Amino acid sequence: MKISLLRTFKIMSFLLTAAPAFFFTTYQLFLAGKGISILEMSLINAAFMFSVFILEVPTGAFADSFGRRRSIIFGCLAWGLSFYVYFFSDHLLAFIAAEIIGAFGYTLISGALEAWIVDSLHWQESQISLEKIFRQEEHYKQAGVILGSFTGALIGGYSLAIPWLLSGTGMILAALAAFIFMREPYRQRHRLSFSFKPLRQTAQISWQQGRGNPAFLRLAAISAVLAMSVQALNMQWPLLFREGFKMPMWSLGLIFSGIALAAALGARLAPLVAKKQRHEGQGLAFAFIITGLMMIFSGQITIFLPALLFFLIHELGRGLFGPLKKAAMNRRLEQENRATMLSLESMGVHAGAFIGLLGSGWIGNHYSISLAWTSSGLLLILLAPFIWKKGL
């Protein structure tokens, strides 16, 4: 079966977000039901972020050396296995092991799909703008999030473990879709072997290119700061709305659907913002300001509807940031090592997320969720003027 590149990209974007989304609204509640504290939840996720930090460049080099299609297939299988481990486990060490397995799968996918579509369109000499491509990607990703999260929330009312089973199966289906639909006719085929030479060479070249590309390094740093700041909300919002505002389980699915729609709206505004800005840094700074202010407001408000509104608007800022950052990043990368370079950026993002998880987990555990959200928002607002003024 042969379908267009863009349709394949959309299908894979949908599947790779729909599959893990089944447990998005129930994850923290599942762990809390197993006796895991807020700080321990952060430690579990920190194991994932640290593993991603270590694995990003080797797995990105694998994608550049042996093919993005192969990398995505193996990544889907490994990530799916980690979800099955969660389904069968009930203690802290098993959850940490699942996160490490999942990190290996995630890093095999990270950057590979993005590099595949950019290079495939370049091979076809397509003139479609990158902002438009990544805006469309965001729509399909958020559709996957809505379907998966709402289904998982409904099922979570009966069993908090079943969503993990659905996520594992969904990743197997994503691997099958990649095997059937993805093609790389422009790439030289390499047989899989146990030699680390091509991986080492690709990683070394990409590392040297990254060090010699100041704009790339600044973009990576900006992405890392955002990742560090939003971890408080990523980990704590179900606890806030479920336990703080006493919301029923099924309503978390509706909230997550609202998150997806807000992020999709932000992504849709990205091309408009790109046209209005004098330089690329202004759009990123604007996203920082929206996200940071709304994080503070949603953390301080004690009335449900205003808190929810500000929380969703902060997601709009995050949705705006993604396409702007991806377009700016890919304009500064060469085809041969694109996946590895994107993995370098992702490595920085997950280093930031690792720090954010530990910091927000400690603040949330010892002080309050409100203080964790406010501290994170202030960081973004303080950095925004520097990005706006100096650009990339």
**pLDDT over threshold 60, residue 156:** yes
| Residue 189 forms part of a structural domain | no
Cα→Cα distances 45→95, 100, 224, Å: 9, 9, 16
Tell whether pTM > 0.75: no
pLDDT at 329: 83
CB 324 within 8 A of CB 273: yes
pLDDT value at position 377? 94
61 or 293: which leads in pLDDT: 293
Contacts of 272 (CB under 8 A, 6+ apart): none
In a domain, 122, yes or no: yes
Q: Is residue 378 part of a domain?
A: yes
pLDDT tens per residue, range 170-189: 999 999 999 999 988 776 55
> pLDDT class for 194, splitting at 50, 70, 90?
very low
Chain mean pLDDT for the chain: 85
Query: Residue 154 falls within a domain, yes or no?
Result: yes
Domain count, the chain: 1
Higher pLDDT: 172 or 107? It is: 172
3-state secondary structure of 111: coil
Q: Containing domain of residue 309, as a range?
A: 5-183+197-390
Counting residues of the chain whose pLDDT is more than 70, the rounded percentage is 90
Residue 191 covered by a domain:
no
Q: For residue 192, is it within any domain?
A: no
Of residues 105 and 66, the one with the higher pLDDT is 105
The enclosing domain of 155 has a CATH number of: 1.20.1250.20
Q: What is the spatial distance between Cα 145 and Cα 175, in angstroms, rounded to a whole number?
A: 18
78 within a domain of the structure (yes/no): yes
Q: ∠152-247-18 over CA atoms, to 5°?
A: 20
